[in-house]
Amino acid sequence: MPSSPSRQRLKSFFGLLSAGFLSGFVLSTPSSALAIRGECFLEVDGETHIDGPCDIDLEKGGSFMMSELRRRPMFVMVNIQEDEGIVTANWNGPERESHAHGQLGTVTRSGGCWKNADARICAWKKGTRPRDFR
């Protein structure tokens, strides 16, 4: 059964209303300042967990998240807390959980890496990883 002209106008109106709501929602939700493809390295307790291509989501203030290019990726979050003057790191662990529950502790920057006695977290823009890195 064909739609009447008034029903078509009503559908158009609600379509535009929905599109406006969704675009407003997308624009108002927080998002990464920049997402890039890069190269990453993660070592925890002497064991290498990530060593190769990855996605890097850079946030305002320098915090970032890096993740493997896999269906269930391992990922690490480095959180710069400027107001407290500390940087901490968390990861989803070798089990590749859905949340970064594993605390890697306070880390300090050294070149393209953040590290402490137990972990080394490195992220480079594609093609900038030092050849002699290890």
How does residue 6 score in pLDDT terms, banded at 50, 70 and 90? very low
Contact at 8 Å (CB) between 32 and 60?
Answer: no
Neighbours of 113 (CB within 10 A): 18
Say what the pLDDT of residue 60 is: 86
> pTM value?
0.72
Q: Can you read off the two tokens belonging to residue 108?
A: 């300090």
pLDDT in tens, 21-74: 333 333 333 455 788 999 999 999 999 999 999 999 999 889 999 999 888 889
pLDDT in tens, 70-123: 888 899 999 999 888 899 999 998 887 787 888 999 999 998 999 999 999 999
Say what the pLDDT of residue 91 is: 94
């807390």: which residue's tokens? 81
Say what the pLDDT of residue 64 is: 95
Cα–Cα distance list, 102 to 15, 62, 91 (Å): 44, 21, 5
Neighbours of 40 (CB within 10 A): 25
Say what the pLDDT of residue 20 is: 36
